[in-house]
Structure 1
Amino acid sequence: MRDLQSWLSRLEQLHPSEIELGLERVSSVAGALDVQVPARRVFTVAGTNGKGSCVRTMEALLRAVDHSVGAYSSPHLLRFNERIRIDGHEVDDVQLIAAFEAVEQARGETSLTYFEFTTLAAFWLFKQADVEFALLEVGLGGRLDAVNLVDPDVAIITSVAVDHEAWLGSDREVIGREKAGILRAGKTFVCADPRPPASVIDVSGKLGCDSYFIDRHFSLVDGVYRLEAEPELVLGLPELRLPPASVAAAITALAVAGALPGADQVCTTLEQLHMPGRCQALIMRGRNLVLDVGHNPAAAEYLASWLKQHPVPGRTLALFAAMADKDLAGLLAPLRSSIDHWYPALLPDNPRAAGAEQVEAALAAAAVPAEQVSTPSMAVKSQLERAFGELGEDDRLLVFGSFFTVAEVLQLTREQQDAQPE
């Protein structure tokens, strides 16, 4: 196959299931590819929320002092290439196709899921580039995720909350144990969850990890970062556009690994750091937009806090569409007091998306007053136009609920070519 899209379409059909947790199949192919050690140093990040922000922070800080870095994250918003970056640049189609061809040759008759195949491709690209650091974001859980076939030098858990219940369970202790599967005996572990499940503490203790827990060994309060362990460190940080706990975990991981830049470089880098789809503020048609991929209750709580910390003179309106398997009422309830009017939307081309009845029932279950909801629910693009018709210059429109929702609106802003960072 000569083009990337043909490859990606084929990978979607290679395995009967979108997800099949387990490492036996992917490990055997990794051995054939010789990618079990994709870089000289490996940092693996698991977590319900905030893991992408942690990877992005470490990547930016390492690149600030010219370290060679491979970063792997998922999912993507607009292009698959976003998932794999080498030295701060997305890999191009030619590089990806070469990696896919290498994995295809190595796998033989072994069946791989889309995520397993593309994870191996990322490892192959990092090995070919001889990167010093590989920063790996777990896709789902930890213990049985394809990323976990690599032994990390530093393991990071950003948060533990309930999500993906069908695969991970609905109990934080069970979920925490799955995420703690990325820890390795005697290696460094950084935890950014202020209330870590006992299962995480238990695993780190039994493995004899060199552990660092937020609010115990490190903290980030009122713009001041402190590491109260070796090496002791105090940094005054600029206003952050990414979750503070994830940023603090990234700083801690690099500091204890002896790879953190100097204080001035840290501040300059963080001042400029942002991520598409994470509290991303844009101006479109002269109006304020905020895009956020938050899709579970914990993410909604953070988003509500962010909105209160960044008020606008006018109203905050919300357009949301989400997947049917999410806790929709739990996603909406934390934002109820922050939103003046709601525009429930649909993703009709996505078979996983929630339908109109489910969305409207979730709003009612979250105790959102009916007079604050524009019904009936319509497709994202139609609801966006409807919201813009009622959006004043002092108002803002929040778009959230799913990567798919944000991707659709972000693509529209690109097509209209007048969207600018706020």
Structure 2
Amino acid sequence: MSIPDFLEFGSKLTNLEKTRNFNVFGNYSLDPFRNLIDSHGWRDRKKERFRISVVGTNGKGSVSHFLAGSFSNLGYKTGLYTSPHLLDPKERIRLGPNFDPVKEEDLKEISNILFAESNSEELSFLSWFEWFTLGSFVLFEKKDIAVQVYEAGLGGRLDATKLAEADIVVLCAIGEDHKAVLGNTKEAILKEKLGIVSERTKIVFALEPEASLLKILKKFCSEKELELHLFPSLLEGKSYLDHNQEYVKFIVRNLQEYISKKLPSLEKVEQTNSKPLALPPGRLETVSDSPLIVFDPAHNPDAIRVTLASLPSAFPGKRFSIIAGFLPDKEGESMAEKLLEYTKTQKSNLYFLDSKEFKLPEGYGSYSIPPEKLSEILKTSDATEGFLVLGSFRLYSYIKTDI
């Protein structure tokens, strides 16, 4: 019998990123996924490992990429698991030192392992996200990856990546997003994110939050007997990518001593010349120079604010018009207000994609454009103007096609 293709099998599973039916979380439990992988030993650590969970509302993608690059530069075999993807689902699983999307032969190796020990019927209850998370567990162990970085998906307590049982948890900025699933306040969302902590977790790193959140964070770490390290939150006017690089440098500095004392046999490979940390794809990414088109996946009010504030330092002297596309479950009106205020100040243009896929913010009909007009609008910029395209990750494929 032929072994099912990894991506093809995954495409038949429930994919909440497509359906957006987050109501299923009302009855969701990690136990079936946990029982499955433990019955086969698919998350077992074959050797000493160092696993890092990165959680939060905003910034966790760039922090995850920077962490993986930093540990790879230190000479550790490093794996990176992130979500969502921009163009190809293979982007979610990456191996150092180059961190290119996982290769077809590696996916075939994952399938060989999974279907040699299980079958389609046993695996068919998994969600698409659980399937890819399982793939990362299996591949990282098969490839003998010493440092494994897992970016959480939607939450923390019920996130499939929780089963990595991280040694270290890295907390990024907390904002209001997916409130129907995670809670209506930042305090509730923080508690949900901190649920990713396991019995193996020893240290929490966090961007210092506002007072009410800091109180919850300190109480949580004290009760769990976790060491807490705080780093200053983002200052206004600074690029969030620069800030997140500094946050990661702080984390790595503190962890080097911890690893040398607590994980003395964590395996290193022959160290090559360290290279500058690559900027994560899709975050304030210049996808075209002429016309200047910048993409960022800011898709909640706090992320919108931080991205707009990052533009002057990241692109000095440039004036940006904005093209935004928000998915139906997003609170588009509050984000639209911030974007309109920015474009009025800049004396630039604002557009919202309106289609079956993208929801037009209520009251912003005069700013709407159909996706098929996107290419035409992108050609209207002058030498001093650029376009910032933001919102859903799905927009990335639109602009890559249209430029």
Q: TM-score range by the shorter chain?
A: 0.7 to 0.9
For structure 2, the 5+ residue unaligned runs are 259-270
220, 223, 226: which one aligns with 1:203: 220
Shift of 1:206: 0.5
Contact 2:240 2:306 in 1 (8 A): no
Write out per-residue CA displacement over residues 338-365 of structure 1, whole angstroms, 9 at most, x where no aligned residue.
32111221354x3xx31xxx43x2548x
What TM-score results when the alignment is normalised by the length of structure 1? 0.78
1:316 match: secondary structure: strand
Question: 5+ unaligned residues in a row in structure 1: which ranges?
Answer: 224-238, 365-369, 414-422
Per-residue Cα deviation, 1:85-140 (whole angstroms, up to 9, x for no partner): 11223211232233245445537536211111110111000010011100001111
User: What's the counterpart of residue 231 of structure 2?
Assistant: 214
Cα distance in 1 for partners of 2:236, 2:322 equals 28
The equivalent of 2:392 in structure 1 is 402
Match of 1:22 in 2: 29
Q: Give 1:9's aligned residue.
A: 11
Aligned match for 1:194, one of 205, 209, 214? 209
Provide, for residues 196-218 of structure 1, a one-character-per-residue CA deviation record: whole Å limited to 9, x for no partner: 35333221111011101123xxx
Change (3 A) 1:399 1:201: same
The equivalent of 2:374 in structure 1 is 383
Counterpart residue identity of residue 402, structure 1: S
Pick one of 295, 303, 328 that aligns with 1:291.
Answer: 295
Match of 1:56 in 2: 65
The Cα offsets for residues 143-163 of structure 1, whole Å up to 9 and x where unpaired, read as 111110122111111011111
SS in structure 1 at match of 2:192:
helix
Q: Quick check: 1:118 aligned with 2:132?
A: yes
Return the letter of the residue paired with 1:299: A
1: CA distance between counterparts of 2:341 and 2:235?
25
Query: Is contact 1:46-1:142 (8 Å) kept?
Result: yes
Give the corresponding residue for 1:229: none
The one-letter code of the counterpart of 1:112 is L
Contact 2:239 2:313 in 1 (8 A): no
Q: How many residues align?
A: 368
Give distance in 1, aligned partners of 2:355 and 2:112: 33
Q: Aligned residue for 2:255? A: 257
Q: Is the 8 A contact 2:159 2:196 kept in 1?
A: no
Select the structure with the greater relative contact order (CA < 8 A; seq sep ≥ 6).
Answer: 2
Partner of 1:109: 122
Please name the residue that 1:392 is paired with: 382
1:8-407 alignment runs, 5 A limit: 8-12=10-14, 20=25, 21-38=28-45, 40-87=49-96, 88-104=99-115, 105-106=117-118, 109=122, 111-184=125-198, 187-195=202-210, 196-215=213-232, 242=241, 244=243, 246-258=244-256, 269-270=275-276, 273-284=278-289, 286-310=290-314, 313=317, 315-339=319-343, 340-348=348-356, 350=357, 353-354=358-359, 358-359=360-361, 361=362, 363=364, 373=367, 375=368, 377-379=369-371, 381-388=372-379, 390-407=380-397
| Matched-pair contact (CA < 8 Å) for 2:51–2:150 | yes
The alpha-carbon distance between structure 1 residues 259 and 299, as it changes in their structure 2 partners (threshold 3 A), is: farther
How much has 1:182 moved relative to structure 2?
2.0
Change in 2 beyond 3 A, CA 1:68/1:2: same
- 1:39-81 superposed Cα distances (whole Å, 9 cap, x missing partner): 7110111010111111100111112233100110000001111
Residue 386 of structure 1: how far off its partner (Å)? 2.5
User: Which consecutive aligned stretches of 4+ in structure 1 deviate over 4 angstroms post-superposition?
Assistant: 1-5, 16-20, 219-223, 310-314
Name the amino acid aligned to 2:129.
Answer: F
Alpha-carbon distance in structure 2 between the residues aligned to 1:2 and 1:36: 21
Task: Give the distance between the partners of 1:97 and 1:54, measured in 2 at CA.
Answer: 29
User: For residues 121 and 211 of structure 1, do their structure 2 counterparts lie closer, same or farther at Cα, with a shift above 3 Å needed?
Assistant: same
Question: If the length of structure 2 is used for normalisation, what is the TM-score?
Answer: 0.82
AA paired with 2:370?
A: M
Q: CA deviation at 1:404?
A: 0.6
Distance change >3 Å, CA 13–CA 171, structure 1 → 2? closer
Distance, in Å, in 1 between the alignment partners of 2:383 and 2:234 is 34
Once the two structures are TM-superposed, the CA of residue 409 in structure 1 deviates from its matched residue by 1.0
Structure 1 position 33, deviation (Å): 3.2
Secondary structure at the counterpart of residue 218 of structure 2: helix
**SS of the residue 2:153 aligns to:** coil
For 1:132 and 1:311, how far apart are their aligned partners in 2? 37
- Aligned Cα root-mean-square deviation (Å): 3.1
Q: 1:258 to 1:179 in 2, by over 3 A?
A: same
Task: Measure the CA separation in 2 of the matches of 1:408 and 1:259.
Answer: 45
Could you tell me how far 1:314 is from its partner in structure 2?
6.1
Partner of 1:236: none
| Cα contact 1:46–1:158 (8 A) shared by 2 | yes
Aligned mates of 2:85, 2:101 — CA distance in 1: 11
What amino acid is aligned across from residue 35 of structure 1 in structure 2? Answer: W
